[in-house]
Amino acid sequence: MPDQPSPALQLADRDDPPTIELGPPLPDPAAPTYPYPAPGPGEPPGPVYVVGDVHGYLDELRAELHHQGLIDADGHWSAGRARIWFLGDFTDRGPDGIGVIDLVMQLAAEAAAAGGYCRALMGNHELLFLGAHKYGDEPVQSTAGTASFLAAWRLNGGQQNDLDRLEAHHISWLSRLPAIGLEDGHLLLHSDTTAYLEYGESIPDVNDAVHGVLADGGVDEWWDCFRRFTKRFAFRGDAGPTAVHELLDTYGGSRIVHGHSPIPYLTGAVHADDGQPPHIPGPYVYADDLAVAMDGGVTMEGRLLVARLPI
């Protein structure tokens, strides 16, 4: 399998797009933080589920959550005390990123009322989407010259319909998402990269550092954060288990669960010569069984994955 992804994936990771004009910015957020309550005294937590990259595919998300018994036919929480983690990348490429965000926020409230919870991580596309809103076509210095958040967002599948519907409460909620989490021995990340180590030696430190960038870091620091979390493939190959151990030894857990890199690129299935969509039977376990990939490649005719842990 080649070390580099196909031209299509390389395009998605470019950091030298042209600048494009943006209209007036949206209002500053003022919404409260979403609560993530812990189980009450003596109440055992429910099972843990993880959801891979959604990228605006709202219908597919609803169908898979319903298939797993996590929502009912009307799209409401039906999982009781279950715990669900979304691994980030709600928007871009698919048709209804804002609809996805609205659903996750709704499920977070409904899960809390039922004694469970629905949590989410910040992916690189959240950083990109929020950056496109905040900075528009303001120039940033990239490794390949001058770029802009808006141009990069559009190049990476940004949907104008999502930007037009982005409201203050969406911005507030997205801006407060953690970059990293730990659940029942599973270290949860969006990106298969060791870049998290550059932001702190504990989970709270990493999350605080990323939130600090979004609060007052400036356009260049925000861009640098986005670029770091766009890196991928750190856990594959001979050096992969070592990279995984470095993260586990630092942040805890016995296995990493991540999104970001589509499974067809990790397995080489995307390079099949028969012209058929990649076959994704489920999550991909690799790196000496230390890592689980959850991006089923829904944007490339793969699957939107929802799985119960442990796998």
Domain ranges within the chain, ordered by starting residue: 12-19+43-309
Q: CA 263 to CA 267: how far, in whole Å?
A: 6
Question: Which of 33-37, 248-252, 277-281: highest mean pLDDT?
Answer: 248-252
What is the pLDDT at residue 265?
94
What is the pLDDT at residue 43?
76
Question: Rounded to an integer, what is the distance from CA 171 to the centroid of its chain?
Answer: 15
What is the pLDDT at residue 31?
34
The torsion angles phi and psi of 308, rounded to 5 degrees, stand at: -90, 135
Cross-strand pairs, 258: 293
Helix (H) or strand (E) holding 239: none
What 8-state DSSP symbol labels residue 197? G
What is the pLDDT at residue 274?
65
Neighbours of 242 (CB within 10 A): 15
Q: Which residue has the tokens 């949860």?
A: 188
3-state secondary structure at position 146 = strand
Q: Answer whether residue 33 shows pLDDT above 70.
A: no
Quick one: pLDDT band at residue 28, thresholds 50, 70, 90?
very low
Closest C-alpha among 187, 176, 217, 191 to residue 124 = 191
Give the contacts of 23 (CB within 8 A, at least 6 positions apart): none
Question: Rounded to an integer, what is the distance from CA 104 to the centroid of its chain?
Answer: 13
What is the pLDDT at residue 144?
67
- How big is the CA angle at 168 (ends 102 and 15), to the nearest 5 degrees? 85
CB 75 within 8 A of CB 38: no
Quick one: pLDDT band at residue 41, thresholds 50, 70, 90?
low
Pick the CATH number of 12-19+43-309 from 3.30.300.20, 3.20.20.370, 3.30.1300.10, 3.60.21.10: 3.60.21.10
Between residues 18 and 114, the one the model is more confident about: 114
H helix runs in 68-202, sequence order: 97-114, 124-135, 149-155, 160-165, 168-175
pLDDT per residue over 201-257, tens digit each? 999 999 999 999 999 889 999 999 999 999 999 999 999 999 999 999 999 999 999
Instruction: Flag the least confident range among 12-21, 43-52, 54-63, 275-284.
Output: 12-21
